[in-house]
Chains A and B, each alone.
Chain A
């Protein structure tokens, strides 16, 4: 069945970068995009960006422009999200999700990766 499995929890110092992986199973990787969403403790969902896994096109949230980079490794059906210049405000659970775009929604989500930024 369709599954997205994310990498484990991370603890980072302020100013550092973090890279989270999202390995997909059970479908043709390049037929669906991947969105990344984060959720700070006790807060709502924040869309971070989307990647077209077929041609590499990306769209990023304006609030994160310049700090977030989405990539993929097609050979292993894996998506990556890298966030740089971390501050305590970036402490959150980060999710990847399969996204067909055009209003089809994020139909399958990873289990989430907790990133804690603390000195």
Chain B
């Protein structure tokens, strides 16, 4: 079955750029979505079709996807961005999530 791999944790200082990666075989051939989940809350879609931001998501969130790796980039990271982030892709009529990355802003 298809697998997506994320780093368990990423740390960033306030105002700096955070990059969260998601790796999978030929991932660049698929659409990737990203979700933010704060403790006790439902996930929130922050990126779809690799590079598109849903309405209401700040411009500091951006995405890319090429080769075997998709990346969610948060520029000028703020304390409120501290959360778990999950990537998602579809493969052969089934979907899969990455294991998640805990973003710490310190």
Contacts and interface: CB of A to CB of B under 8 A. Distances in A.
Interface of A: 35, 37, 44-47, 50, 59-62, 95, 97, 101-107, 109-112
Interface in B53-89: 54, 84, 86, 88
Given A62-B1, A103-B48, A105-B88, A47 B43 contact: no
Interface residues of B, number: 28
Nearest to B34: A105
B42 A112 contact: yes
A111 B97 contact: no
B99 interface: yes
A47 B93 contact: no
Task: Tell me the dominant secondary structure on chain A's binding face.
Answer: strand
Interface of B: 1, 30-33, 35, 37, 42-45, 47-50, 54, 84, 86, 88, 90, 93-100
A47 B88 contact: yes
A45 B1 contact: no
A26 to B, nearest CB: 15
Contacts of B44: 109
B28 to A, nearest CB: 13
